Amino acid sequence: MSNELSSASDFQQKFMQLVGGQQCFSDIHLEQGAPAMVKTPRGWQQFHDTPLTLGDLRPLLDSIDEDWEDKIVEKALDRPFLLPNCRLRCNIYRLGAGTKVALSVRRLSLEPLALEQTGLPSYVRTMLESNKGLILVTGPTGSGKTTTIAAMLDYINASRNGHIVTIEEPIEYALQRKQSIVSQKEVPIDTASFSSGLREALRQKPDVLMVGEIRDYDTAETVLHAGESGHLVLATMHTGNAIGAISKLLSFFPLEQRSQRSAMLASSLLGVVFQSLLPSEDGGDYVLASEMVFNHNQQIASYITDPDKLHMIADYMKRKEDNMSRPLNDVLLQLVNKKEISARDALRVAYNRLELREMLGNVR
């Protein structure tokens, strides 16, 4: 028994040192019968050598939710866990036909990043200073979309007198009132779904709306109406590039509605931010690479309204006609030239690898 307590205490100490320390990581994976793992910019690494026992995990699980054993019988358990210097998003679940327990942990800062710390160019504020319209933040899972959206909302909160309503699953960053009233709703606790939460929010006098994810027809339709009717709307999607966010949003609508919805999107879209997170060249940190297309002056409206011209947005970004829109490969090339990231990592996240390989070859 004393050996078990010593092992549990040793693991607890290592865990608390990790989450409270300065090491750069995004997630921790703890699984009964396996070593503890941490996701660094260079991938998953062990941080506790011996396989974890239930005794090792139990003190941590009990502190997250004392009734976790009963609750995970039906489904995985999502819980926030507040520490003095960070906030943990914890998901407790069963594995191996109920024979093992696992815990996924994501570390979040207590306060959103300042907008200038995200890695986005300063002129992204052009979108945020609009009173109405739609801003899409898109990218793969784990690309920092939540962090970017939180930084955008915090900028608005600090610079505008208004009412911000968010619909999230779960709430990642707790936003404190500054210049604005902030109402944060969590799906499915405070509202049944993104679409129902958005419809309810429109009756609560919002100036700014944030939707955690557009994933169905109802949410897409309400987002378009809200952006067109005088609200500033921020929303995330999962797509492989900026143009993909526009085409995916329109794909939620049946063909007979596509023309009308394209016109609505063309008039309300302020811009799209597509982003990826890469390891820095030394592997000690993350670096943001972002593709951006702006429409705050209706720059790409004509391409959006005509489905046959949607692909032409890519050439528009390359021409840099508005000095703001930029394709991902241009940004990746810049980061490689500045030695902030390696060429190998740049090629790994590029969606047009052949083009980037040629661009990198021309520089050498």
If one counts the domains in the chain, the total is 2
Nearest-CA neighbor of 53 among 33, 30, 37? 33
For residue 10, the model assigns a pLDDT of 84
- Scanning the structure block, which residue is given the tokens 């939460």? 197
If phi > 0 it is left, if psi is from -120 to 50 it is alpha, else beta; for residue 349 that is alpha
Q: Which domain holds residue 75?
A: 2-108
CATH classification at residue 197: 3.40.50.300
Question: Are residue 64 and residue 120 in the same domain, yes or no?
Answer: no
Same domain, 259 and 179: yes
Residue 361 lies in a domain: no
Q: Exposure of 74 by Cβ count < 10 A (0-12 exposed, 13-18 middle, 19+ buried)?
A: exposed
Q: What is the pLDDT of residue 336?
A: 97
> Does residue 341 lie in a domain region?
no
Judge contact between 46 and 36, C-beta under 8 A: yes
Q: Are residues 92 and 223 in the same domain?
A: no
* Residues pairing with 107 in the sheet: 88
Closest Cα partner for 55 from 106, 104, 6, 19?
Answer: 6
217 and 73 in a single domain? The answer is no
pTM above 0.85, yes or no: yes
Domain match, 261 and 313 both: yes
> In whole angstroms, what is the distance from residue 249 CA to residue 272 CA?
12
What CATH number has the domain bearing residue 69?
3.30.450.90
Same domain, 60 and 180: no
- Tell how far CA 285 is from the center of its chain: 17
The whole-number pLDDT of residue 6 equals 55
Amino acid at 60: L
Q: What is the pLDDT of residues 163-176, one digit of tens each?
A: 999 999 888 899 99
* pLDDT single digits (tens) 66-110: 999 999 999 999 988 988 889 999 999 999 999 999 999 999 999
Q: Is there a domain that residue 336 lies in?
A: no
Domain ends where: 90, 108, 126? 108
Shared-domain flag, residues 132 and 77:
no
**37 shares its domain with 119:** no
Residues 251 and 281 in one domain: yes
Q: Are 221 and 143 found together in one domain?
A: yes
The residues, ordered by sequence, that sit 6+ positions from 16 with a Cβ below 8 Å of its Cβ are: none
Which residues in the chain show pLDDT less than 70? 1-8, 363-364
Please indicate, yes or no, if residue 354 is contained in any of the structural domains: no
CB-based burial, 237-255: b 16+ in 10 Å, e otherwise: bbbebbbbbbebbbebbee
Neighbour-count burial for 121-149, b at 16+ CB within 10 Å, e otherwise: eeebbbbbeeebbbbbbbbeeebbbbbbb
Between CA 323 and CA 121 the distance in angstroms is 12
Please tell me the distance from the alpha carbon of residue 250 to that of residue 262, in angstroms, as a whole number: 7
Rounded alpha-carbon distances, angstroms, from residue 281 to 13, 41, 118, 141, 183 = 30, 10, 18, 22, 40
Residue 140 contacts residue 118 (beta carbons within 8 Å): no
pLDDT at 61: 95
In the numeric block, which tokens belong to residue 24? 């750069």
Q: Domain boundary at 326, 342, 357, which? A: 326
